[in-house]
Amino acid sequence: MGRVRVSILGSTGLVGQWMVKLLENHPFIDVVKLSASPGKVGRRYGDAVHWFIPGDIPEYARDIELVSTEPLDHKDVDVVLSALPNEVAGSVESKLLASGINVVSNASPERLSPSVPLINPEVNWNHLEILRSTKGNWLVKNPNCTAAIISMPLKPLQDLIHELHIVTLQSVSGAGYLGLSYLAIDGNVIPFIKGEEEKIDAEINKMLGKQSPGNYEPWEKPIYVTSTRVPVKYGHMAVIHAVLKEPMDRDKIINALRNFRSLPQEAELPTAPKEPVKVLDRIDAPQPARDLDPMAVSVGRVSVRNNVLRMVVLGDNLVRGAAGITILTLETMKHLKLI
């Protein structure tokens, strides 16, 4: 296999740091450029980054000199991986695309564009097939971190579901390193996250729908979401009540979740979890402090009463929901010979 040369935008942020870490010693992806905000350009990555995630800065990245986000600094890479904040990503990524540079992005602009695949690899890898009819370079988007986590256990059950009622309990890291003050969240729950509920609804409906060149047909299921921020460092949780089309046996639901596999598992892609959905038997599972897995989604409290399924879902918002899904998407594209 040929190697894929990538650059990482926003490499000093939380998601960017995870990309740097996950790509250490990758079997076929090489990080050749790292970029950051203008005040850090020209500095060595090891000197400029405030390393916040577990473990040390990977040795390969320490001496890479940070570059700008301008297209000229990325013209010799195969793909740009974007971990930029939403408020700046749109203009930066547009410049890169206009310059003929491919982008896989974790940011929200263009996620719902009919011509842009919104990819959670186990859920809708086949939506990438529209790129075969794309002339020139392309843009691929990752979903919102919570939508990425929730859509995993929904995929094997989607044909059974009539509508969804979801309450999320999202960790503070989802707001970024400087996203929430200690005084705002310590000992507190904030029952509102701007724009989050609309994103979860629209993005799940897109991923579970059908994509064709220039168009997508949404899943079109009603999804009622209440998003909350809780004083937990890592891990997004969701309490899901799914109204089923008809009563369903609990054991059949659990078997469908446990047996769920998709192309990333069949292809044994490097970043893919062997078991994408882990059903936990403990009555008090899942818990962020005990059950958080980097790339798999944990499910517990599964019950069916009449035609309503209840389950509690937990996933790593920075890895499964952001950095890891970006890398897995690129691995999937490589496997499909789209790059």
The residue count of the chain comes to: 339
> Nearest CA to 26 among 7, 51, 8, 4?
4
Is the distance from CB of 26 to CB of 3 less than 8 angstroms?
no
Q: How far apart are CA 74 and CA 8, in angstroms?
A: 10
Is 145 marked active-site? yes
Supply angle C-alpha 5, 148, 159, rounded to 5: 125
Question: Six-digit token pair at 35?
Answer: 């970029």
Q: Which of 165, 236, 241, 335 is catalytic?
A: 236
Q: How far apart are the first and last CA of the chain?
A: 11
Bond into 247 cis (ω within 30): no
Beta bridge partners of 244: 161
Q: Which is nearest to 25 in space by CA: 69, 51, 49, 55?
A: 55
Q: Where is 90: in which H helix or E strand?
A: helix 86-98
- Cα separation, 311 vs 246, in Å, equals 17
Residues in contact with 76: Cβ distance below 8 Å, sequence separation at least 6, in sequence order: 5, 32
Beta-strand pair 79-82/4-9: parallel
> Environment class of residue 136 by beta-carbon count within 10 Å: exposed (0-12), middle (13-18) or buried (19+)?
exposed
Tell which residue, 3, 262, 21, has the closest CA to residue 151.
262
Q: Pick the catalytic residue: 145, 162, 241, 335?
A: 145
Known active-site residue 26: no
Catalytic positions, written as ranges: 145, 236
